[in-house]
A and B are shown apart, each in its own frame.
Chain A
């Protein structure tokens, strides 16, 4: 079946090079575009000038260990000027390599932009911290905070992956997150049980998704319209019930018991990775499980093959006996449940009550992470981490006092997304049938 249904990106096990090999072979026939090399060169030059030559002469200090760690590592001390120059030279070399490959008519390999982004972020970080009033931040805290902020984004983008891979555009991630957050808060408050709240959040997300599926699959309404409208609807319903029910009796309806952080002994004391992997709430651990399960499910199981077949070429899938619309309906519903769990993070873990618009547009960032991660669960996970990182950096940078206005830091994820969809990481191409309703016959 995989020969008849040509999936352009069957997924690759390596997170960094997610889907890099496949487009390379697809694009080999076409002339390689100048876009990527030129963009890389521009960014390398920006880095060399601003992060290198114009860098502050302070020493930036990055704390690695926290007090409760298993063993203590000394803080990383980097001279901002020297560090900026060294990393910028590396960036220039990478850009040069991309240009060299272009002159040979070869596209840049997948690891190149990824490495470029990582080094660029590092150079940026050194520059920002080096120019601050107190040039010291805790790297461990920065990374741990990024993961925490990324949890709802990861769930949201996994929902997007599940829906888009089966051929339904999911703009309603924001609504699913918000619905999950609201339901988790109200059910957990009424039952005094956070686990039931978590379950209810998944159901709420699934219900939002079912409306999306019903309208887009049965009534063939444009999926983007349904998504946009659903976001408004969920925002209206939760806002209405918040104002009428929750505010009238906060103790009964809006004081959910939280999900505590589960600390795995010994392992959680490892510097940097300990807090990320072994000091999370239940929702945080579920996030890792969900990423792994969705990835394995999509790319290693019969179910996943069917899902991708329906998303790429529904006619072919139908010919082979797959019920296209049923597959779509249940996968979209599943996606909603995943996003609903992500929404519960707001009210059960991050904050202990619901407020209006608590998801604050994170559903749209999740959508961006999905595209940035090229419709791959692992790619989306790392893209969401990057956005969480930018979000966290923004608040930290405001505290340590840098010359960069915090509004520009807040703008970064969106600018990065525009660059991403406009071609920094190669042509973003979704599943072929995404957004197109399937009518048999």
Chain B
């Protein structure tokens, strides 16, 4: 990203050194060219949210190849995760009893306290790892890898909802509404699942379609209002989340949705023909939805990088005014991208009701809709980045349960680490400053200036 944003600082982006007197114009042309590359199918380094992640980046102009590797965005991501884990570990340690008792004589024997801090943090993280990837105490290989399967199961709704948020980000829209889209999808999918009784295969297909359509309608409605009235999509989608939630709570108290003979707000169990098959046998919860999530990732990648519609989305996201001038129907793009984003979030709703829960309750969306935002941000709004981020956060979620049981560390620590990761990834200069990797000659003002043009294309 830094290379595209500020080509005038990057030596290898300059094909030929321009004559001295016309340097300004040459630089200007190159900026224009770089912007064109950014919008016109330069798929190699797609931006995250337009005008956010790009801004404030420093060009790695001075220094060696090694320095460039260490200041590159991949390294920053790794360091951001590391920094977030360290801060999370400190928070865990700060409430640890052993740490508190050794802190009393810190100046007499500091190593005791440092060891206690290290123990408190690592004990929690080891439990987290054992709960999410590999448990050596398991009985046999199948049981040892059970945590990994659980991670994939929990990652499934995160990935699809994250893809929805990421897709909207790329079109310059903040889709905070994945939560509501999951709920509406869950309502429709669950109803098809328990109210209709259809043959095997057709039933599940209809459940899936109903969920995707439900999410697409809910997302598309927000897009329609945005396109027609200019209302801000952040407000609209937040409000739609609440409307969907209260609507679900209402439905769960009506005879059509409430389980007969039940006073709690819970729906009947979905028909066996309406639920996802468990793809690795009945000992794991992992279901067909994970395969569909991989498929959805491929689909979004194709949509964004290979299709005309995806090109239009990215053009609108980069600069809506320019896109309009170029003949792209911005309103249509807004509605369409929100509908597709809603459909993807809808797949998460289906994964919940037809995959893991098999009933509809008012907690159908859990916090997947909100986590999806951080997933998309961590994945820098690229399809495969989102996929990887979904796996990571799925691992956090799965492992946190084990961690709470084994060490008593509350699950909330996952929220802290997740949000810190996203904060740090969004501010590469901060991470580089913490690890002392900032380029020696700083030119923040010029670097940010070229990023400024893109900010107007952002959703804010």
Contacts and interface: CB of A to CB of B under 8 A. Distances in A.
A282 interface: no
B250 interface: yes
Contacts of A414: 239-240, 242-243, 246
B410 A243 contact: yes
Interface in B221-252: 225, 229-232, 234-236, 238-240, 242-243, 246-247, 249-250
Main secondary structure of the interface of B (DSSP, over half): helix
A142 to B, nearest CB: 21
B349 to A, nearest CB: 19
B238 A219 contact: no
Interface string A375-414: 0000000000000000000000000000001011011001
B95 interface: yes
A240 B422 contact: no
A119 interface: no
B194 interface: no
B229 A215 contact: no
A171 B243 contact: no
Most buried by B among A226, A407, A440: A407
Nearest to A415: B243
A440 B225 CA distance: 35
B231 to A, nearest CB: 4
Nearest to A238: B412
Contacts of A428: 231
A220 B56 contact: yes
B460 A405 contact: no
A78 interface: no
Contact of A237 (B416, B448, B460): B416
Given A219-B430, A232-B418, A441-B449, A436 B249 contact: no
Interface in B410-450: 410, 412-420, 422-423, 426-427, 429-430, 445-446, 448-449
Interface string A424-441: 000110000011110111
Give the 4 A-B residue pairs with the shortest CB-CB distance, closest first. A236-B415, A435-B460, A222-B52, A239-B412
Contact of A241 (B95, B253, B373, B460): B95
A235 interface: yes
8 contacts: A224-B460, A232-B370, A232-B419, A407-B253, A414-B239, A421-B231, A428-B231, A435-B458
A383 B232 CA distance: 18
A28 interface: no
A297 interface: no
Given A245-B95, A405-B250, A240 B413 contact: yes
Contacts of A223: 460
B415 A434 contact: no
A233 B246 contact: no
Contact of B55 (A220, A230, A233, A405): A220
A229 B426 CA distance: 11
A417 interface: yes
Nearest to A237: B416
A439 B458 CA distance: 16
A169 to B, nearest CB: 6
A225 B377 contact: yes
Given A215-B426, A236-B416, A417-B239, A222 B231 contact: no
Contact of B423 (A215, A410, A437): A215
A418 interface: yes
Most buried by B among A221, A241, A368, A441: A221
A417 B459 CA distance: 19
Nearest to A438: B452
A434 B413 contact: no
Contacts of B456: 436
Interface of A: 35, 169, 171, 215, 219-226, 228-230, 232-233, 235-237, 239-245, 361, 364, 367-368, 371, 405, 407-408, 410-411, 414-415, 417-418, 421-423, 427-428, 434-437, 439-441
Contact of A407 (B250, B446, B455, B460): B250
B179 to A, nearest CB: 11
A221 B427 contact: yes
Contacts of B125: none
Contacts of A244: 95, 409-410
Contacts of B249: 407
B243 A411 contact: yes
Interface of B: 49, 51-53, 55-56, 91, 95, 174, 176, 225, 229-232, 234-236, 238-240, 242-243, 246-247, 249-250, 253, 370, 373-374, 377, 409-410, 412-420, 422-423, 426-427, 429-430, 445-446, 448-449, 451-452, 455-456, 458-460
Contacts of A219: 56, 426-427, 429-430
A223 B419 CA distance: 14
A418 B377 CA distance: 26
A300 B107 CA distance: 55
Contacts of A169: 460
A439 to B, nearest CB: 5
Contacts of A221: 52-53, 55-56, 423, 426-427
Contact of A228 (B230, B243, B373, B445): B373
Contacts of B446: 441
A367 B253 contact: no
Contacts of B455: 436-437
Contacts of A235: 412, 415
Given A215-B426, A418-B236, A418-B240, 4 more contacts: A220-B451, A221-B55, A422-B229, A436-B455
B460 A434 contact: yes
Given A224-B459, A237-B91, A440-B445, A229 B377 contact: yes
A46 to B, nearest CB: 18
A225 B419 CA distance: 10
Contacts of A418: 225, 231, 236, 239-240, 243
A38 B459 CA distance: 29
A240 B246 contact: no
Contacts of A367: 235, 238
A407 B410 contact: no
Most buried by B among A236, A364, A440: A236
Contacts of A407: 246-247, 249-250, 253
Contacts of B448: 220, 439
A257 to B, nearest CB: 24
Given A219-B426, A240-B412, A229 B374 contact: yes
Nearest to B420: A233
Contacts of B374: 229, 232
A421 B413 CA distance: 36
A345 to B, nearest CB: 21
Contacts of A434: 460
A288 B208 CA distance: 52
A370 to B, nearest CB: 10
Contact of B422 (A225, A239, A427, A435): A225
Given A240-B91, A439-B445, A229 B239 contact: no
B246 A408 contact: yes
Contacts of A237: 91, 412, 416
Nearest to A234: B419
Nearest to B97: A248
B445 A225 contact: no
Most buried by B among A215, A219, A405: A219
Contact of B234 (A224, A242, A405, A437): A224
B268 to A, nearest CB: 20
